[in-house]
Structure 1
């Protein structure tokens, strides 16, 4: 996947992975209302900041709603999924680097 270019994941979701630092990386994700990020887990700690809109997350089976101006922390290894309740822009940060997103 090219770095620093928007990638269409499906009709309702696209993401842009930014050039990483040594141990920290970030990406922007645009969700159209109804867009779903399926349940998954990874060993990386993740922080998600909702720039605009509103999302619903299942975090280890617990439902939380995160609105514009709020953030959520996902510990490494914890199962999570997301659904966009509105058109939303989310900035996510990961540590350590997610090599799977960097194409390495």
Structure 2
């Protein structure tokens, strides 16, 4: 069993105002914590991984296929692999939550050079 505490990780600022920390991973999935500051934007991107997540604080607006979907505390979401998507924190408080990726994002681009994949 792998146990990783968020307190044991130093989040990386993937893009301005977006802090990510890879947590536990297994053969088929891994977990990432995110904190997105007010006004921060994750530009449209895609990756082959399925992405499911849960927001526990703040409100995050996703832009997917021309639609806006707002996720707030207690909301979960699922984004199919390969689906272009973006996200914005339009609120006045940080958004915090967790993402689960399948297959695992073992070495995302932002981890090394600040780029999101």
TM-score range, shorter chain: 0.7 to 0.9
Structure 1 stretches of at least 4 aligned residues deviating more than 6 Å after TM superposition: none
One of 90, 95, 103 as aligned partner of 2:102: 95
RMSD: 1.9
May I ask how many residue pairs the two structures share in their alignment? 101
Q: TM-score, normalised by structure 2?
A: 0.78
CA contact (8 A) 1:55 1:82 kept: yes
Give the unaligned 5+ runs of structure 2: 1-7, 112-117
If the length of structure 1 is used for normalisation, what is the TM-score?
A: 0.86
1:46 to 51, 59, 62: 51
Distance between the aligned counterparts of 1:101 and 1:27, measured in 2? 11
Which whole-Å CA distance do the structure 2 matches of 1:43 and 1:37 have between them?
A: 17
Structure holding more strand per residue:
1
Describe the SS at the equivalent of 1:100: coil
